[in-house]
Structure 1
Amino acid sequence: MDQYQDTGLIFAGNIYMSEIVDGVPGEFAGPINVSRLEMTPPQPESVDRTSYQRDTYGQVLDSVNLPGEAPRMAMDFDSLPSGLLADALAGTSEAYSATVQTVTGESVTLKQGLWKKLPYPNVDESTITVTLDSDGTTELVRGTDYDVEPVSGLIRALNETGAVAVTVDFDTLEASGQRILGATEISKKRQIIMDGVNLVTGKKAHVTIHSASFSATQALDLMAREMITGTLEGTMTTPAGKTSPYEVVMHD
């Protein structure tokens, strides 16, 4: 046994996470702000041999712990760029782009107080015109007769004058970003690295979780009044070439 030295342990660490594809980790995202990185050791199944002999009746003669539930881990994080938000929503992330579209002669019957969806979002507000179908020339006034939510592409009437059949003309804006497809990837295989320090001793520490199969396990309140937190939980596995599912290195 190594020389014993009594000390406490509080970790601070930079967490990095990589997607594993075909058994090979890719690029690592991070550092991720992680408030919980919890390991649960394997839960063994105990097999006992009980005595039925006269002098030791009811006592355990032999006991063996067999492999039971696999080691698990859980991670809470509030770093939520598109990739991690997709993880928290059990989804996938992909590039999003929209080119400029020109819409002419779009027929819509507006209703007062209720929104209608235009054929495209990202409306260029400076280009929209709404014309009465009844005469084909009278333009309605935005903010008086109708209103538009340009990003969503929604339009509604604000008064009785606007609550009629109209023709809408507009251009859209070019847009780009990330699109998250929720609930499309239930199981996520990841490798996790922590580059840390024991705040009690000031000594460095390094944690590697070689492979974990995660699932998003907590509801995500997109309208929360505090920072949104994602939660991933899953089973740690021992990949080929390794002798344990994870390792903790404490530096001298």
Structure 2
Amino acid sequence: MSTARGFLGEGDVLFDVWDDDTQTWWNSWKPMGESSKFAIGAQSELKEKESRGRGTRGQLIASVALLKSPEIEVVLDEVNADNIKLAFMGTLASLTQGSGSIADQVITAKLGHWIPLGKRNFATAAFTVKSSDGVTTYALGTDYEVNYRLGMVRPLATGTIADAASLKVSGTYNAVSGSTVKGATKAQLRCRLLLDGRNLVDGSDAECEVFEAILAPEGEFDFKAEDFGSITLKGKLVTPVGKTSPFEVRFPELT
């Protein structure tokens, strides 16, 4: 058994999440990346009875502490699609686009505004913007600008394109892959947690397993914060069927 008289910890946080669609747990542990906080607070409520007798009013005649559900706070410092999903109580979906092209796609000019083409990741070669009759080919940088990455065209007020003019756009776009988080689609996160930790004082192992927790994000996530972003999750611990406590802390000694 560890004889360390202090604790300075480090560790990895792993999640097992309840799937609302399949009504099952993953039954596996997913690493959530860098985490700077894993804190549990055991809560109790003090019930007190005071006397109202003659000459004794206000004196305590009975007191009992009642256990309440422990609270947990986890701070995730690795901001990726999986963790952003938790920050916004959302669902994760694939972001996909096959390669292809558009030919004489009609858009309506609005000077100074970016007009989406419905596709992204356009190639710069052979990208053209023409008048509705196809006679005039407008000049890039003079009459319009292109955001090839987002797939948008901006007619310039200093060019020869008239406001509200009908334009024909042609070009080739490349494939896109990635992830999409659809925010605010879930009310809560039901999960299990495992802290695979270690006491740096003597190198001994320290584990904390949460058998069930109901979590929700705390505060906002600022995409333009002054410092590195993090995601804070807070919630209550639940004692599930088959368990006698909502969590346990283990100090294993391997032989």
Question: Separation in 1 of the partners of 2:53 and 2:144?
Answer: 91
Equivalence map 1:134-145=2 (5 Å) = 135-145=133-143
Is the 8 Å Cα contact of residues 145 and 155 (structure 2) preserved in structure 1? yes
Aligned to 2:180: 179
Aligned to 1:239: 240
Which deviations, in whole Å up to 9, do the C-alpha atoms of 1:39-65 show, x marking residues without a partner? 121232x33232334464432222122
The reply to whether residue 152 of structure 1 matches residue 153 of structure 2 is no
Shift of 1:190: 1.3
One-letter amino acid of the counterpart of residue 221, structure 1: D
Is the 8 Å Cα contact of residues 113 and 157 (structure 1) preserved in structure 2? yes
Distance 1:5 1:166, change over 3 A: closer
Aligned to 2:210: 209
Question: Separation in 2 of the partners of 1:73 and 1:57?
Answer: 39
Which deviations, in whole Å up to 9, do the C-alpha atoms of 1:183-242 show, x marking residues without a partner? 112301111111111112221111111111111122111122322111111111111221
Is the 8 Å Cα contact of residues 112 and 160 (structure 1) preserved in structure 2? no
Secondary structure in 1 matching 2:29: strand
Output the aligned Cα RMSD.
2.3
Aligned to 2:221: 220
Is the 8 Å Cα contact of residues 142 and 159 (structure 2) preserved in structure 1? no
Percent identical pairs in the alignment equals 26
Distance 1:60 1:130, change over 3 A: same
Question: Separation in 2 of the partners of 1:6 and 1:32?
Answer: 28
Distance 1:151 1:27, change over 3 A: farther
One-letter amino acid of the counterpart of residue 27, structure 1: S
Say how many residue pairs are matched: 247
Is the 8 Å Cα contact of residues 111 and 162 (structure 1) preserved in structure 2? no
Equivalence map 1:13-24=2 (5 Å) = 13-21=11-19, 22=23, 24=25
Is the 8 Å Cα contact of residues 4 and 201 (structure 2) preserved in structure 1? no
Aligned to 1:249: 250
Is the 8 Å Cα contact of residues 25 and 191 (structure 1) preserved in structure 2? no
Secondary structure in 2 matching 1:71: strand
Is the 8 Å Cα contact of residues 14 and 30 (structure 2) preserved in structure 1? yes
Is the 8 Å Cα contact of residues 44 and 66 (structure 2) preserved in structure 1? no
Secondary structure in 2 matching 1:143: coil
- The two structures have a TM-score, normalised by structure 2, of 0.87
Which deviations, in whole Å up to 9, do the C-alpha atoms of 1:102-147 show, x marking residues without a partner? 32222223233221122323333324211122x5232122223211
Distance 1:239 1:149, change over 3 A: same
Which deviations, in whole Å up to 9, do the C-alpha atoms of 1:152-190 show, x marking residues without a partner? 221112332134432111232211111111111230111
Aligned to 2:114: 115
Aligned to 1:10: 8
Secondary structure in 2 matching 1:26: coil
- The two structures have a TM-score, normalised by structure 1, of 0.88
The reply to whether residue 62 of structure 1 matches residue 62 of structure 2 is yes
Aligned to 1:99: 98
Is the 8 Å Cα contact of residues 145 and 157 (structure 1) preserved in structure 2? yes
One-letter amino acid of the counterpart of residue 81, structure 1: N
One-letter amino acid of the counterpart of residue 123, structure 2: D
Question: Separation in 1 of the partners of 2:35 and 2:145?
Answer: 43
Which deviations, in whole Å up to 9, do the C-alpha atoms of 1:1-44 show, x marking residues without a partner? xx996711111111111212345343322252111112121232
State which drifts further: 104-113 or 173-182.
Answer: 104-113
The unaligned stretches of length 5 or more in structure 2 are none
Is the 8 Å Cα contact of residues 25 and 190 (structure 1) preserved in structure 2? no
Question: Separation in 1 of the partners of 2:137 and 2:44?
Answer: 72
Is the 8 Å Cα contact of residues 95 and 179 (structure 1) preserved in structure 2? yes
Aligned to 1:132: 131
Question: Separation in 1 of the partners of 2:26 and 2:242?
Answer: 14
